[in-house]
Protein backbone atom coordinates (compact mmCIF):
# COMPACT_ATOMS: atom_id res chain seq x y z
CA UNK A 1 0.00 0.00 0.00
CA UNK A 2 2.77 2.37 1.01
CA UNK A 3 4.65 1.69 -2.20
CA UNK A 4 1.46 2.26 -4.16
CA UNK A 5 1.05 5.71 -2.61
CA UNK A 6 4.72 6.45 -3.16
CA UNK A 7 4.37 5.42 -6.80
CA UNK A 8 1.27 7.55 -7.15
CA UNK A 9 3.05 10.60 -5.70
CA UNK A 10 5.99 9.93 -7.96
CA UNK A 11 3.68 9.66 -10.94
CA UNK A 12 1.83 12.88 -10.12
CA UNK A 13 4.97 14.87 -9.38
CA UNK A 14 6.56 13.42 -12.50
CA UNK A 15 3.60 14.69 -14.45
CA UNK A 16 3.92 18.09 -12.86
CA UNK A 17 7.54 18.29 -13.90
CA UNK A 18 6.68 17.24 -17.41
CA UNK A 19 4.08 19.96 -17.69
CA UNK A 20 4.73 22.98 -19.83
CA UNK A 21 5.08 26.36 -18.22
CA UNK A 22 5.00 29.70 -19.95
CA UNK A 23 8.37 31.40 -20.28
CA UNK A 24 8.93 34.84 -18.80
CA UNK A 25 9.88 37.68 -21.14
CA UNK A 26 13.49 37.47 -20.00
CA UNK A 27 13.53 33.71 -20.66
CA UNK A 28 12.04 34.22 -24.11
CA UNK A 29 14.68 36.72 -25.23
CA UNK A 30 17.44 34.55 -23.75
CA UNK A 31 16.08 31.44 -25.49
CA UNK A 32 15.67 33.18 -28.85
CA UNK A 33 19.19 34.49 -28.68
CA UNK A 34 20.62 31.06 -27.89
CA UNK A 35 18.74 29.45 -30.76
CA UNK A 36 19.74 32.19 -33.20
CA UNK A 37 23.41 31.92 -32.24
CA UNK A 38 23.30 28.14 -32.69
CA UNK A 39 21.33 28.35 -35.97
CA UNK A 40 23.79 30.88 -37.40
CA UNK A 41 26.65 28.46 -36.82
CA UNK A 42 24.90 25.74 -38.83
CA UNK A 43 26.48 25.39 -42.28
CA UNK A 44 25.41 21.80 -42.78
CA UNK A 45 23.16 19.52 -40.83
CA UNK A 46 22.24 15.89 -41.19
CA UNK A 47 19.90 13.97 -38.97
CA UNK A 48 17.91 10.76 -38.80
CA UNK A 49 14.20 11.18 -38.27
CA UNK A 50 11.15 9.14 -37.35
CA UNK A 51 7.80 10.49 -38.48
CA UNK A 52 4.62 9.56 -36.62
CA UNK A 53 1.39 10.37 -38.39
CA UNK A 54 -1.38 10.51 -35.83
CA UNK A 55 -4.97 10.18 -36.99
CA UNK A 56 -7.56 10.02 -34.26
CA UNK A 57 -9.43 7.05 -35.71
CA UNK A 58 -6.38 4.79 -36.13
CA UNK A 59 -5.18 2.24 -33.57
CA UNK A 60 -1.53 3.06 -34.18
CA UNK A 61 0.41 6.05 -35.51
CA UNK A 62 1.77 5.50 -39.02
CA UNK A 63 5.53 5.33 -38.72
CA UNK A 64 7.97 6.25 -41.48
CA UNK A 65 11.64 7.06 -41.09
CA UNK A 66 14.73 8.23 -42.92
CA UNK A 67 17.38 10.92 -43.11
CA UNK A 68 17.38 14.67 -43.62
CA UNK A 69 20.34 16.63 -44.97
CA UNK A 70 20.60 20.42 -45.12
CA UNK A 71 23.32 22.63 -46.55
CA UNK A 72 23.44 26.38 -46.47
CA UNK A 73 21.84 28.46 -47.85
CA UNK A 74 18.92 26.39 -49.20
CA UNK A 75 19.82 22.85 -50.21
CA UNK A 76 17.59 20.30 -48.58
CA UNK A 77 17.07 16.59 -48.96
CA UNK A 78 14.31 14.76 -47.14
CA UNK A 79 14.72 11.03 -47.62
CA UNK A 80 12.35 8.31 -46.42
CA UNK A 81 13.95 4.86 -46.19
CA UNK A 82 11.32 2.88 -44.32
CA UNK A 83 8.95 1.35 -45.18
CA UNK A 84 9.60 2.72 -48.69
CA UNK A 85 12.24 4.74 -50.55
CA UNK A 86 11.03 8.22 -51.28
CA UNK A 87 13.30 11.20 -51.53
CA UNK A 88 12.58 14.85 -52.13
CA UNK A 89 15.21 17.51 -52.83
CA UNK A 90 14.70 21.28 -52.68
CA UNK A 91 17.29 22.89 -54.92
CA UNK A 92 17.49 26.10 -56.99
CA UNK A 93 13.75 26.70 -57.01
CA UNK A 94 13.01 23.10 -57.98
CA UNK A 95 11.59 20.12 -56.16
CA UNK A 96 13.13 16.84 -57.32
CA UNK A 97 11.31 13.67 -56.36
CA UNK A 98 12.57 10.11 -56.49
CA UNK A 99 9.75 7.71 -55.64
CA UNK A 100 11.13 4.15 -55.57
CA UNK A 101 13.21 4.99 -58.64
CA UNK A 102 10.46 6.90 -60.41
CA UNK A 103 11.78 10.43 -60.88
CA UNK A 104 9.95 13.70 -61.35
CA UNK A 105 10.59 17.41 -60.94
CA UNK A 106 8.40 20.36 -60.05
CA UNK A 107 9.43 23.91 -60.80
CA UNK A 108 8.60 26.03 -57.80
CA UNK A 109 10.47 29.09 -59.01
CA UNK A 110 7.77 31.63 -58.27
CA UNK A 111 5.41 29.55 -56.19
CA UNK A 112 5.01 31.50 -52.96
CA UNK A 113 3.53 28.66 -50.98
CA UNK A 114 6.39 26.26 -51.83
CA UNK A 115 8.97 28.91 -51.10
CA UNK A 116 7.34 29.27 -47.73
CA UNK A 117 7.28 25.53 -47.13
CA UNK A 118 10.98 25.31 -47.99
CA UNK A 119 11.74 28.11 -45.55
CA UNK A 120 9.54 26.44 -43.00
CA UNK A 121 11.29 23.06 -43.18
CA UNK A 122 14.74 24.60 -42.96
CA UNK A 123 13.55 26.91 -40.19
CA UNK A 124 11.98 24.01 -38.32
CA UNK A 125 15.10 21.92 -38.35
CA UNK A 126 17.54 24.70 -37.59
CA UNK A 127 15.09 26.31 -35.17
CA UNK A 128 15.49 29.76 -36.64
CA UNK A 129 11.97 30.80 -37.56
CA UNK A 130 11.08 33.43 -34.99
CA UNK A 131 9.36 35.65 -37.50
CA UNK A 132 6.58 37.58 -35.81
CA UNK A 133 5.25 38.78 -39.15
CA UNK A 134 4.57 35.18 -40.29
CA UNK A 135 3.52 33.62 -37.00
CA UNK A 136 1.92 34.29 -33.66
CA UNK A 137 4.53 32.69 -31.41
CA UNK A 138 4.25 31.51 -27.82
CA UNK A 139 7.02 30.07 -25.64
CA UNK A 140 7.01 27.31 -23.04
CA UNK A 141 9.51 25.39 -20.95
CA UNK A 142 9.50 21.96 -19.39
CA UNK A 143 12.16 19.78 -17.82
CA UNK A 144 15.20 19.79 -20.11
CA UNK A 145 13.25 21.24 -23.02
CA UNK A 146 12.01 24.48 -24.48
CA UNK A 147 8.97 24.61 -26.72
CA UNK A 148 8.00 27.25 -29.24
CA UNK A 149 4.51 27.20 -30.78
CA UNK A 150 3.88 28.94 -34.07
CA UNK A 151 0.43 29.78 -35.42
CA UNK A 152 0.58 30.87 -39.09
CA UNK A 153 -0.87 34.29 -39.87
CA UNK A 154 -1.14 33.61 -43.60
CA UNK A 155 -4.57 32.26 -44.54
CA UNK A 156 -3.23 29.99 -47.32
CA UNK A 157 -0.72 28.33 -44.99
CA UNK A 158 -3.23 28.15 -42.17
CA UNK A 159 -5.46 25.94 -44.30
CA UNK A 160 -2.81 23.21 -44.16
CA UNK A 161 -1.18 23.82 -40.81
CA UNK A 162 -3.00 24.96 -37.71
CA UNK A 163 0.09 25.10 -35.55
CA UNK A 164 3.77 24.13 -35.57
CA UNK A 165 5.45 23.13 -32.35
CA UNK A 166 9.22 22.99 -32.14
CA UNK A 167 10.77 21.27 -29.14
CA UNK A 168 14.38 22.24 -28.34
CA UNK A 169 16.96 20.51 -26.24
CA UNK A 170 17.79 23.03 -23.50
CA UNK A 171 21.51 22.28 -23.47
CA UNK A 172 22.18 22.35 -27.20
CA UNK A 173 19.47 24.81 -28.26
CA UNK A 174 18.70 22.62 -31.28
CA UNK A 175 15.40 21.14 -32.45
CA UNK A 176 14.64 17.59 -31.28
CA UNK A 177 11.00 17.39 -32.36
CA UNK A 178 8.73 19.03 -34.90
CA UNK A 179 4.99 18.70 -34.49
CA UNK A 180 2.64 19.85 -37.25
CA UNK A 181 -0.97 20.12 -36.17
CA UNK A 182 -3.63 20.02 -38.87
CA UNK A 183 -6.90 21.87 -38.64
CA UNK A 184 -8.57 18.85 -37.09
CA UNK A 185 -7.16 16.99 -34.08
CA UNK A 186 -4.68 15.15 -36.29
CA UNK A 187 -0.96 15.81 -36.34
CA UNK A 188 2.41 14.75 -37.71
CA UNK A 189 5.21 14.38 -35.15
CA UNK A 190 8.79 14.19 -36.40
CA UNK A 191 11.51 13.17 -33.96
CA UNK A 192 15.08 14.12 -34.94
CA UNK A 193 17.92 11.86 -33.80
CA UNK A 194 21.67 11.43 -34.33
CA UNK A 195 22.13 15.00 -35.44
CA UNK A 196 25.48 15.92 -37.01
CA UNK A 197 26.28 19.61 -37.43
CA UNK A 198 28.82 21.05 -39.87
CA UNK A 199 30.18 17.81 -41.27
CA UNK A 200 31.46 18.22 -44.84
CA UNK A 201 28.59 17.57 -47.26
CA UNK A 202 29.11 17.68 -50.99
CA UNK A 203 26.58 19.45 -53.24
CA UNK A 204 26.27 16.24 -55.26
CA UNK A 205 24.32 14.73 -52.34
CA UNK A 206 21.40 16.90 -53.39
CA UNK A 207 20.56 15.04 -56.57
CA UNK A 208 17.70 12.68 -57.00
CA UNK B 1 -14.59 -0.77 -107.80
CA UNK B 2 -13.27 -4.05 -106.57
CA UNK B 3 -10.77 -2.23 -104.40
CA UNK B 4 -13.46 -0.21 -102.65
CA UNK B 5 -15.54 -3.37 -102.06
CA UNK B 6 -12.58 -4.97 -100.34
CA UNK B 7 -12.11 -1.82 -98.27
CA UNK B 8 -15.80 -1.85 -97.41
CA UNK B 9 -15.59 -5.47 -96.32
CA UNK B 10 -12.48 -4.82 -94.29
CA UNK B 11 -14.08 -1.88 -92.52
CA UNK B 12 -17.14 -3.97 -91.80
CA UNK B 13 -15.00 -6.76 -90.41
CA UNK B 14 -13.21 -4.35 -88.10
CA UNK B 15 -16.53 -2.87 -87.03
CA UNK B 16 -17.91 -6.31 -86.34
CA UNK B 17 -14.84 -7.27 -84.32
CA UNK B 18 -14.99 -3.99 -82.43
CA UNK B 19 -18.67 -4.49 -81.66
CA UNK B 20 -18.20 -8.06 -80.51
CA UNK B 21 -15.30 -7.12 -78.28
CA UNK B 22 -17.45 -4.40 -76.74
CA UNK B 23 -19.85 -7.10 -75.57
CA UNK B 24 -20.33 -8.40 -72.07
CA UNK B 25 -17.43 -9.26 -69.77
CA UNK B 26 -18.41 -12.90 -69.70
CA UNK B 27 -18.63 -13.54 -73.45
CA UNK B 28 -15.63 -15.89 -73.40
CA UNK B 29 -16.68 -17.78 -70.31
CA UNK B 30 -18.92 -20.76 -69.80
CA UNK B 31 -22.11 -20.30 -67.77
CA UNK B 32 -22.29 -22.53 -64.74
CA UNK B 33 -24.81 -23.44 -62.05
CA UNK B 34 -24.60 -21.13 -59.00
CA UNK B 35 -22.51 -22.62 -56.20
CA UNK B 36 -23.12 -19.67 -53.85
CA UNK B 37 -25.51 -16.74 -53.58
CA UNK B 38 -23.16 -14.32 -51.83
CA UNK B 39 -19.45 -13.67 -51.56
CA UNK B 40 -17.56 -11.94 -48.73
CA UNK B 41 -14.32 -10.08 -49.46
CA UNK B 42 -11.81 -10.31 -46.60
CA UNK B 43 -9.38 -7.56 -47.63
CA UNK B 44 -10.78 -4.53 -45.76
CA UNK B 45 -13.19 -6.24 -43.39
CA UNK B 46 -11.39 -6.19 -40.02
CA UNK B 47 -12.34 -3.25 -37.80
CA UNK B 48 -9.18 -3.72 -35.70
CA UNK B 49 -6.80 -3.24 -38.61
CA UNK B 50 -5.41 0.07 -39.85
CA UNK B 51 -5.06 -0.54 -43.59
CA UNK B 52 -2.14 1.62 -44.72
CA UNK B 53 -0.84 1.71 -48.31
CA UNK B 54 1.80 3.65 -50.20
CA UNK B 55 -0.11 4.99 -53.18
CA UNK B 56 0.71 6.13 -56.69
CA UNK B 57 -1.96 7.77 -58.79
CA UNK B 58 -1.46 8.39 -62.46
CA UNK B 59 -4.10 10.59 -64.06
CA UNK B 60 -3.79 11.78 -67.67
CA UNK B 61 0.00 11.63 -67.46
CA UNK B 62 0.23 13.39 -64.10
CA UNK B 63 1.73 11.51 -61.19
CA UNK B 64 0.60 11.91 -57.62
CA UNK B 65 1.81 9.88 -54.67
CA UNK B 66 1.00 9.60 -51.01
CA UNK B 67 -0.40 7.38 -48.31
CA UNK B 68 -3.83 5.74 -48.46
CA UNK B 69 -5.39 4.85 -45.13
CA UNK B 70 -8.64 2.92 -44.63
CA UNK B 71 -10.30 1.82 -41.44
CA UNK B 72 -13.61 0.16 -40.79
CA UNK B 73 -15.24 2.43 -38.20
CA UNK B 74 -18.54 0.56 -37.76
CA UNK B 75 -20.55 -2.28 -39.33
CA UNK B 76 -21.09 -0.50 -42.63
CA UNK B 77 -18.79 2.54 -42.85
CA UNK B 78 -15.10 2.89 -43.75
CA UNK B 79 -13.08 6.02 -43.07
CA UNK B 80 -10.70 6.74 -45.94
CA UNK B 81 -7.86 9.27 -45.74
CA UNK B 82 -5.25 10.15 -48.32
CA UNK B 83 -2.17 12.08 -47.18
CA UNK B 84 1.13 13.20 -48.70
CA UNK B 85 4.33 11.40 -47.65
CA UNK B 86 4.85 14.26 -45.18
CA UNK B 87 1.51 13.51 -43.58
CA UNK B 88 -0.60 16.42 -44.84
CA UNK B 89 -4.15 15.28 -45.27
CA UNK B 90 -5.40 15.70 -48.83
CA UNK B 91 -8.81 14.10 -48.46
CA UNK B 92 -10.90 12.47 -45.78
CA UNK B 93 -14.05 10.48 -46.71
CA UNK B 94 -16.56 8.25 -44.97
CA UNK B 95 -17.99 5.60 -47.30
CA UNK B 96 -20.52 2.79 -47.09
CA UNK B 97 -22.55 0.91 -49.73
CA UNK B 98 -25.21 3.61 -49.63
CA UNK B 99 -23.75 6.61 -47.86
CA UNK B 100 -20.94 9.06 -48.55
CA UNK B 101 -19.54 11.98 -46.59
CA UNK B 102 -16.62 14.29 -47.34
CA UNK B 103 -15.00 15.23 -44.02
CA UNK B 104 -12.37 17.35 -45.73
CA UNK B 105 -10.62 17.84 -49.06
CA UNK B 106 -7.91 20.30 -50.12
CA UNK B 107 -9.13 22.92 -52.56
CA UNK B 108 -6.81 21.64 -55.35
CA UNK B 109 -8.70 18.30 -55.39
CA UNK B 110 -12.15 19.69 -54.70
CA UNK B 111 -13.70 18.82 -58.08
CA UNK B 112 -17.03 17.06 -58.26
CA UNK B 113 -16.02 14.70 -61.06
CA UNK B 114 -12.86 13.63 -59.19
CA UNK B 115 -14.69 13.16 -55.90
CA UNK B 116 -17.41 11.07 -57.57
CA UNK B 117 -14.83 8.91 -59.34
CA UNK B 118 -12.86 8.28 -56.15
CA UNK B 119 -16.09 7.63 -54.25
CA UNK B 120 -17.10 4.89 -56.72
CA UNK B 121 -13.57 3.42 -56.81
CA UNK B 122 -13.16 3.31 -53.04
CA UNK B 123 -16.70 2.08 -52.48
CA UNK B 124 -16.03 -0.95 -54.64
CA UNK B 125 -12.56 -1.42 -53.16
CA UNK B 126 -13.95 -1.52 -49.62
CA UNK B 127 -17.13 -3.44 -50.42
CA UNK B 128 -17.49 -6.43 -48.16
CA UNK B 129 -20.37 -8.47 -49.52
CA UNK B 130 -21.65 -9.20 -53.02
CA UNK B 131 -24.98 -10.88 -53.81
CA UNK B 132 -24.47 -13.24 -56.72
CA UNK B 133 -26.98 -13.72 -59.58
CA UNK B 134 -25.01 -15.60 -62.19
CA UNK B 135 -21.92 -17.71 -62.41
CA UNK B 136 -19.38 -18.48 -65.14
CA UNK B 137 -16.04 -20.15 -65.36
CA UNK B 138 -12.80 -19.92 -67.26
CA UNK B 139 -9.90 -22.31 -67.12
CA UNK B 140 -8.40 -20.50 -64.12
CA UNK B 141 -11.28 -18.72 -62.39
CA UNK B 142 -14.82 -18.95 -61.17
CA UNK B 143 -16.59 -15.76 -62.20
CA UNK B 144 -19.54 -14.41 -60.23
CA UNK B 145 -21.86 -11.72 -61.49
CA UNK B 146 -23.36 -9.33 -58.94
CA UNK B 147 -25.83 -6.64 -60.02
CA UNK B 148 -24.94 -3.05 -59.12
CA UNK B 149 -27.85 -0.78 -60.10
CA UNK B 150 -28.02 -0.93 -63.90
CA UNK B 151 -24.39 -2.03 -63.96
CA UNK B 152 -22.71 -5.17 -62.68
CA UNK B 153 -19.61 -6.33 -60.85
CA UNK B 154 -17.80 -9.46 -61.97
CA UNK B 155 -15.74 -11.22 -59.33
CA UNK B 156 -12.89 -13.43 -60.49
CA UNK B 157 -12.03 -16.06 -57.88
CA UNK B 158 -9.00 -18.23 -58.56
CA UNK B 159 -9.81 -21.93 -58.83
CA UNK B 160 -6.33 -22.73 -57.57
CA UNK B 161 -6.37 -20.88 -54.23
CA UNK B 162 -9.94 -19.55 -53.88
CA UNK B 163 -8.68 -15.96 -53.61
CA UNK B 164 -10.42 -12.94 -55.11
CA UNK B 165 -8.08 -11.74 -57.87
CA UNK B 166 -10.12 -9.21 -59.77
CA UNK B 167 -13.36 -7.24 -59.77
CA UNK B 168 -14.59 -5.79 -63.04
CA UNK B 169 -17.16 -3.01 -62.82
CA UNK B 170 -19.12 -2.91 -66.05
CA UNK B 171 -22.14 -1.45 -67.77
CA UNK B 172 -24.23 -3.68 -70.08
CA UNK B 173 -21.77 -3.07 -72.91
CA UNK B 174 -18.55 -1.66 -71.51
CA UNK B 175 -16.02 -2.34 -68.77
CA UNK B 176 -15.67 0.82 -66.68
CA UNK B 177 -12.91 -0.02 -64.24
CA UNK B 178 -11.08 -3.01 -62.83
CA UNK B 179 -9.66 -3.78 -59.41
CA UNK B 180 -6.91 -6.38 -59.10
CA UNK B 181 -5.70 -7.85 -55.83
CA UNK B 182 -2.56 -9.75 -54.85
CA UNK B 183 -2.86 -11.40 -51.47
CA UNK B 184 -0.55 -13.94 -49.82
CA UNK B 185 -2.62 -14.68 -46.75
CA UNK B 186 -6.16 -13.97 -48.00
CA UNK B 187 -6.57 -11.60 -45.01
CA UNK B 188 -5.39 -8.39 -46.63
CA UNK B 189 -4.03 -7.57 -50.10
CA UNK B 190 -0.39 -6.51 -50.42
CA UNK B 191 -0.89 -4.98 -53.81
CA UNK B 192 -3.99 -3.51 -55.38
CA UNK B 193 -4.53 -1.70 -58.65
CA UNK B 194 -7.56 0.27 -59.80
CA UNK B 195 -7.51 0.82 -63.55
CA UNK B 196 -10.13 2.80 -65.47
CA UNK B 197 -10.96 1.80 -69.01
CA UNK B 198 -12.80 4.96 -70.11
CA UNK B 199 -10.56 7.59 -68.50
CA UNK B 200 -6.77 7.63 -68.08
CA UNK B 201 -6.69 6.93 -64.38
CA UNK B 202 -4.68 4.29 -62.56
CA UNK B 203 -4.31 3.92 -58.81
CA UNK B 204 -1.71 1.57 -57.36
CA UNK B 205 -1.68 0.62 -53.67
CA UNK B 206 1.21 -1.16 -51.92
CA UNK B 207 0.76 -2.34 -48.33
CA UNK B 208 3.19 -0.91 -45.74
CA UNK B 209 5.71 -3.65 -44.96
CA UNK B 210 5.71 -4.46 -41.28
CA UNK B 211 9.05 -4.17 -39.53
Q: Are B207 and B187 in contact (CB under 8 A)?
A: no
Q: Is residue A179 included in any domain, yes or no?
A: yes
Q: Are B179 and B60 in contact (CB under 8 A)?
A: no
Average pLDDT rounded to a whole number, residues B62-90: 94
Distance between A9 CA and the closest CA of chain B, angstroms: 35
Distance between A53 CA and the closest CA of chain B, angstroms: 6
* Distance of alpha carbon B197 from alpha carbon B178, whole angstroms: 8
Q: Is residue A112 included in any domain, yes or no?
A: yes
With cut-offs at 50, 70 and 90, classify the pLDDT of residue B61: confident
Range of the domain at A191: 29-199
State residue B53's pLDDT score: 98
Tens of pLDDT, residue by residue over B140-157, are 999 999 999 999 999 999
State residue B5's pLDDT score: 63
Q: Is the pLDDT of residue A126 over 50?
A: yes
Backbone φ and ψ for B3, nearest 5 degrees, come out as -60, -45
The question of ipTM being above 0.85 is answered as no
Q: Is residue A13 included in any domain, yes or no?
A: no
Check A86 against B65: CB less than 8 A apart. yes
Average pLDDT rounded to a whole number, residues A9-15: 50
DSSP 8-state symbol, A159:
T
Q: Tell me the pTM.
A: 0.85
Contact residues, chain A, for B210 at CB < 8 Å: 83
Which of these ranges, A57-66, A71-80, A86-95, A119-128, has the smallest mean pLDDT? A119-128
Q: How many domains does chain A have?
A: 1
The closest CB to that of B83, out of A53, A82, A97, belongs to A53
Q: Is the pLDDT of residue B21 over 90?
A: no
Check A57 against B73: CB less than 8 A apart. yes
The closest CB to that of B50, out of A58, A88, A97, belongs to A58
With cut-offs at 50, 70 and 90, classify the pLDDT of residue B22: very low
State residue B203's pLDDT score: 97
B141 preceded by a cis bond (ω within 30 of 0): no
- Please measure the distance between the N-terminal and C-terminal CA atoms of chain B and give it in whole angstroms: 72
Q: Is the pLDDT of residue A110 over 90?
A: no
* CATH code: domain of residue A151: 2.50.20.10
Contact residues, chain B, for A83 at CB < 8 Å: 54, 208-211
In which element (H, E) is residue A37 found?
A: helix A25-41
Q: Is residue A6 included in any domain, yes or no?
A: no
List chain B domain ranges: 24-207
State residue B72's pLDDT score: 97
More confident residue, A204 or A111: A204
Neighbours of A100 (CB within 10 A): 12
Tens of pLDDT, residue by residue over A151-163, are 999 887 787 789 9
Which residue in B has a C-alpha nearest to residue A185's C-alpha? B89
Contact residues, chain B, for A124 at CB < 8 Å: none
Check B107 against A159: CB less than 8 A apart. yes
Which fold, B24-207? outer membrane lipoprotein receptor (LolB), chain A (2.50.20)
A146-176 per-residue burial string, b: 16 or more CB within 10 A, e: under 16: bbbbbebeeeebeebbbbbbbbbbeeebbbb
With cut-offs at 50, 70 and 90, classify the pLDDT of residue B20: very low
Distance between B183 CA and the closest CA of chain A, angstroms: 18
DSSP B77-142: -EEEEEE-TT--EEEEEEE-SS-EEEEEE-GGG--HHHHHHHHHHHHHHH--EEE--EEEE-SSEE
Q: Are A96 and A88 in contact (CB under 8 A)?
A: yes
Amino acid sequence: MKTNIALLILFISGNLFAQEQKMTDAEISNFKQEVNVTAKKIKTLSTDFIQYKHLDFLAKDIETSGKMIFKEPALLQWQYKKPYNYSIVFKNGKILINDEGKKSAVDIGNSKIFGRINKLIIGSVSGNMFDDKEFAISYFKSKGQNIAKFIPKDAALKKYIKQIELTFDKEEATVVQVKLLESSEDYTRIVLKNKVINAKIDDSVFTN
Amino acid sequence: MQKSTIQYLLINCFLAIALISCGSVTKNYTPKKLDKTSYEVPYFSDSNTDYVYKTNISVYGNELSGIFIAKKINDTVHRVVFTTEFGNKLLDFEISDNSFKVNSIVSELDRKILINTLRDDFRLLLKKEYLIQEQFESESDNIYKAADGNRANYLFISKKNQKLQKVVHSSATKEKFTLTFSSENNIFAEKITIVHQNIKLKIELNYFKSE
